[in-house]
Structure 1
Amino acid sequence: MESAIDKHLKCPRTLSRRVPDEYEPPFSMWVGRADTQVKQVVMAYLGIQFRDETQRPAALQAMKTIVSTFELAEGPMHHDLTHHTDNQGYQNLMVVGYWRDPAAYCRWMQADEVDGWWSSDDRLNEGLGYFREIIAPSAEQFETLYAFRDNLPGVGAVMDGISGDIEEHGYWGSMRDRFPASQTDWMKPNGDLRIIAGDPAKGGRVVVQGHDNIALIRSGQDWADAEAEETELYFGEILPTLQDGMDFLRDNGQTVGCYSNRFVRNIDLDGNLLDMSYNIGHWRSLEKLERWAESHPTHLRIFTTFFRVVGGLDKLRLYHEVSVSDARHQVFEYINCHPQTGMMRDAQA
């Protein structure tokens, strides 16, 4: 048994864990491990938004254009593609890229093929919406959790390996306890979301300024290799409770401190659905996310169902990653997206 916090990220605690030192979790879980050279990662969510199904070919082509730039020398080490329909009836494609070197990300973003495309006036006149939501947490500012040990998705794909059985899981507060920063920092938010350029009601380009310690959670499900029994378990028991919780946060998240919630389905480059999905949620703070998780009926049902089935999982792959980030390491930009998109909904003029 080992700590979720890697040895090189350990420091003397000034804040205690939620459980005593002799706590033993009821089942095995694992976290990603990165070597000491990884000081910061970049998580980039690049979106295309459209309303009319006739715009789908153009949206898919825009997605392919973004993916083609990943072939540049400084492109991400890992990426995935998703689709979802939001509660305003708009379809959204997202290209999600991960870097383990922020300098490489900056060089990629400044390339003519990337910055020139994003900055072009053509983006304003195509009838599509675009957004980019990018955060760059330090190694102390994110945690992972996996019910499996191979082919890690998301940020795990740019890490170097997997831990042994970890201590910090299976109890309320374990998510926070897996953050290296939690040893000395409450990770409290400061300030509010603010629109610093543009007007969401008028369309065009809009820039939202974030604040310190916005929390980002990606919680995923992969049933691609699951046998019939596990597939039935996912669709019959896990997905209905999960869908209820995700719909609540999508439609009512503002009441509990959730800025944006998207339950997305993975796709291939041609837009075909894959047997994987995940939720991506931006929260005002880790504390707001914890409070909802520990008290709201929709998440309590998710948590209870997971605990009941996790010990018997074989090919059904469940995981999550959670991060906080400094405001100076956040980018929230939108082009011709509807005003309820992402951070625009809760941003103050």
Structure 2
Amino acid sequence: MESAIPEHLAKERTRHRRIPDDYAPPYPSFSARYRPGVTRVAMAYFGLQVRPGDEAAAEPALAAMAAAFGKGEGPGHWDRARTVDAAGFVTILSIAYWDDPDAFRRWYAAHGAFWTGTGPGDDRLGTFVEILMPGVERYETLFSSADRAEGVAVVSDGMSGMVQEHAYWGGMRDRIPLSQTDAMEPQGAPRIVEADGVLKVVPHGNICLIRSGQDWSDTDGDERRMYLEEVEPVLRAGMDFLRDEGLSCGCFANRYMDVVGASGGATDKTFGMSWWTSLAALERWAESHPTHVAIFGAAMKYLMTVGPDARLRLYHEVTVAAADEQIFEYRNCHPATGMLRAGGG
């Protein structure tokens, strides 16, 4: 058993974990490990928004972004996902990760800034970027198995052994290295400014992003049926609540995404990604809101029924970013897109 916080990021605690030193979690989980030379990463969400029926118009823009990822110092990993937002617009995300934000900045200046700088040149399309460049002390990852990385973990050096800080309320915070000495409370409030046709959200400090995913591609038979019929609908209901009413509990925006395969087809993977005013707001929803209590109950019933042979794979990454580690820009998007809701959209 090892700590989710790697040794080179361990500090003398001034804020205590929620567990005693001899705590033993009831099942194994794992965290991504980065070589000590990696001090910061880049997580870049390139969004495209289009009305249903106009999706063919998105193909040239999506192809241009895929081509851009292959140029210069492109990402170490990227993937693509799709959803329909509360306003009925199709949203397609191309999500890219770097383990060197300086390389990201150079690539972005040369190959990525067009996304909201000039846009694809089609008035039917809205484009946006939501970018974080957190220090490694400001995020955590958790996986139910160690042999298949997702998201930012793909650009890591590998997985840990079994970690201690999980399977209890508060584990998410305890896995973030900065939590050893900092409460990570929100600082300031976001505001929106306009420049050259682009709406920019000037962020507040310690905004929280979670990407939490499910992969049922290895399941079959009763396990697959149970997930799709008893767990996924409850999960979707919770994601819809955050999408439609999340502002009531500190969630600026939520997207429940279907992962798109390399050929453009559907996969057996989904994830929710949401922006929160703070880690504490996310914790309160997770611990006590009826929608997440229902998700947790359905998941526990599933895992208790299937047992240790469960093939469902779960993961998440949670980031608490400083104000100067964030970029939010929106061109030709409706006013309730993403972090524009932070300004009352």
The whole-number CA distance in structure 1 between the counterparts of 2:85 and 2:344 is 22
Q: Please name the residue that 2:226 is paired with.
A: 233
Shift of 1:198: 5.2
For 1:344, give the aligned amino acid: L
Alignment of 1:198-277 (within 5 A): 204-269=197-262, 271-277=264-270
Q: Does 1:142 align with 2:135?
A: no
Structure 2 SS opposite 1:255: helix
Shift of 1:72: 1.1
Q: Please name the residue that 2:84 is paired with.
A: 85
Structure 1 SS opposite 2:113: helix
Alignment of 1:96-175 (within 5 A): 96-111=95-110, 113-116=111-114, 118-120=116-118, 123=120, 125-175=122-172
Q: Please name the residue that 2:49 is paired with.
A: 49
Contact 1:26 1:170 in 2 (8 A): yes
For 2:337, give the aligned amino acid: T
Shift of 1:269: 5.0
Shift of 1:22: 1.5
Instruction: Sort the Cα spacing of 1:14 and 1:273 in 2 relative to 1 into closer, same or farther, 3 A.
Output: same
Shift of 1:348: 6.1
The whole-number CA distance in structure 1 between the counterparts of 2:203 and 2:286 is 23
Instruction: Sort the Cα spacing of 1:342 and 1:108 in 2 relative to 1 into closer, same or farther, 3 A.
Output: same
For 2:127, give the aligned amino acid: Y
The whole-number CA distance in structure 2 between the counterparts of 1:176 and 1:313 is 28
Q: Please name the residue that 1:337 is paired with.
A: 333
Shift of 1:251: 0.5
Shift of 1:124: 5.8
Shift of 1:280: 0.4
For 2:72, give the aligned amino acid: A
Contact 2:2 2:161 in 1 (8 A): yes
Aligned residues: 342
The whole-number CA distance in structure 2 between the counterparts of 1:280 and 1:205 is 23
Shift of 1:123: 4.0
For 1:259, give the aligned amino acid: F
Contact 1:192 1:348 in 2 (8 A): no
Q: Please name the residue that 2:8 is paired with.
A: 8
Contact 2:116 2:129 in 1 (8 A): no
Q: Please name the residue that 1:94 is paired with.
A: 93
Contact 1:192 1:347 in 2 (8 A): no
Structure 2 SS opposite 1:110: helix
Q: Which moved more, 1:283-292 or 1:304-313?
A: 304-313
Shift of 1:270: 5.3
The whole-number CA distance in structure 2 between the counterparts of 1:86 and 1:313 is 35
The whole-number CA distance in structure 2 between the counterparts of 1:169 and 1:114 is 37
Alignment of 1:50-65 (within 5 A): 50-53=50-53, 55-65=54-64
TM superposition score normalised by structure 1: 0.94
For 2:76, give the aligned amino acid: M
Structure 2 SS opposite 1:346: helix
Return 5+ residue gaps in structure 1 as ranges: none
The whole-number CA distance in structure 2 between the counterparts of 1:52 and 1:235 is 25
Shift of 1:117: 5.5
Shift of 1:313: 4.7
Percent of residue pairs identical: 45
Structure 1 SS opposite 2:217: coil
The whole-number CA distance in structure 2 between the counterparts of 1:149 and 1:52 is 38
Root-mean-square deviation over aligned CA pairs: 1.7
Shift of 1:306: 2.5
The whole-number CA distance in structure 2 between the counterparts of 1:117 and 1:244 is 32
Structure 2 SS opposite 1:220: strand
For 1:138, give the aligned amino acid: G
Deviations 1:295-335 (A, max 9, x none): 10110121223233344354321111101111111010001
For 1:326, give the aligned amino acid: A
Shift of 1:79: 0.5
Shift of 1:209: 0.8
Contact 2:116 2:330 in 1 (8 A): no
Instruction: Sort the Cα spacing of 1:345 and 1:251 in 2 relative to 1 into closer, same or farther, 3 A.
Output: same
Deviations 1:97-144 (A, max 9, x none): 000000110010010x43345422x64653210010001111100001
Structure 2 SS opposite 1:235: helix
Contact 1:214 1:283 in 2 (8 A): yes
Q: Does 1:191 align with 2:188?
A: yes
The whole-number CA distance in structure 2 between the counterparts of 1:255 and 1:117 is 31
